[in-house]
A = this chain, B = another copy of it.
Amino acid sequence: MSRIHKNERIGAIIHILTEHPKKIFTLNYFGELFGCAKSTLSEDLDAVRGIFERFELGKIETIAGAAGGVFYHPSVAPKEIENFSNYLCEQINKKDRIIPGGYIYTNDLLYNPEITYKIAKIMAMPFHDEAVDYVVTIETKGIPVAFMVAQVLKKPMIVVRKSARLTEGTAIHMNYITGSTKRIQTMSLTKRSVEKGSKVLFIDDFMKAGGTAKGIEDLMKEFESEVIGTGVVMATAEPKEKLIHNYHTLLVLENVDEEAGIIHIRPSCI
């Protein structure tokens, strides 16, 4: 193999780090890949860090010591969060999205990987420094965004089912009451999916009164685990007091005026 140029090392490092958010790569790993000395790599990594800073591409972080290494920490610049949130509000506030009953059709946004990856990068931001073992969600519409938050935080996802799937093994089954419509619903989670003593982050697409989020909190207690944070793409402005405290939302839904065909939605400050 001919000599590897600095350009090539930097390019390959950036590709590998970018494809694996929050995964720690040791200097040894890159040293073997390129057949070069650690001192050379240290200079390369300084350059990589500089590139991410200069173009606001997220952060490159270094962990010192024997188990140390380098990883890509995705983040979005404040101005870009603002622009993107406004873009989402514009996309959502369209008459033909209103479904009888005041629901909003958002599948085309939540099932679009490019949009959802960006939402997830923003939604993950408050939780990067928290000790999170799992990202938990409830089927079905929140799964894509939860999975991408899991990707950004490099954590496994857990999907709570609305009915027991015994093909996934013994499950804990629990009733809960929806916060807004006061209906009894069921949630179910395979026993082996959460280790005792875990800390989880609950991610969902939508929150009204917070009944589901409260249900997840209770379910996690059955697993001797704890919800340490909650993030949703969109929360309603009313009721102001949710059944859980301490959640983050990207967008705030003020109200849906079915008659006029207007969806009043605005960015939150996540």
B residues in contact with A71, CB < 8 Å: none
Asked if A252 is at the interface (CB within 8 A of a chain B CB), the reply is: no
Q: How far apart are A151's CB and chain B's nearest CB, in angstroms?
A: 4
State which of B16, B33, B108, B159 has its C-beta within 8 Å of the C-beta of A156: B108
Taking chain A's interface residues, is the majority helix, strand, or loop, or is none over half, making it mixed? Answer: helix
Asked if A8 is at the interface (CB within 8 A of a chain B CB), the reply is: yes
State which of B18, B99, B166 has its C-beta within 8 Å of the C-beta of A169: B99
Per the CB 8 Å criterion, the residue count for chain A at the interface is 59
Known contacts A7-B7, A158-B111, A167-B99; is-contact A15 B151 (Cβ 8 Å):
no
Q: Scan residues 85-116 of chain A and give those whose CB is less than 8 A from a CB of chain B.
A: 99, 101, 103, 105, 107-108, 111-114, 116
Interchain residue pairs with CB less than 8 A apart (18): A6-B7, A7-B10, A10-B10, A10-B11, A11-B14, A11-B51, A12-B57, A14-B15, A15-B15, A15-B57, A18-B19, A99-B169, A105-B192, A111-B156, A112-B157, A113-B154, A113-B157, A114-B154
Q: Complex formed: what's the CA distance from A141 to B99 in Å? A: 27
Q: Are A111 and B11 in contact (CB under 8 A)?
A: no
Q: How far apart are A102's CB and chain B's nearest CB, in angstroms?
A: 10
Segment with Cβ contacts to B, from A125-133, A142-150, A220-228, A258-266: A142-150
B residues in contact with A55, CB < 8 Å: 8, 12, 15, 33
Q: How far apart are A173's CB and chain B's nearest CB, in angstroms?
A: 16
Q: How far apart are A270's CB and chain B's nearest CB, in angstroms?
A: 20
Asked if A140 is at the interface (CB within 8 A of a chain B CB), the reply is: yes
Q: Are A117 and B151 in contact (CB under 8 A)?
A: yes
Q: Are A15 and B114 in contact (CB under 8 A)?
A: no
Q: Complex formed: what's the CA distance from A47 to B4 in Å? A: 12
Known contacts A51-B15, A140-B159, A168-B99; is-contact A20 B150 (Cβ 8 Å):
no
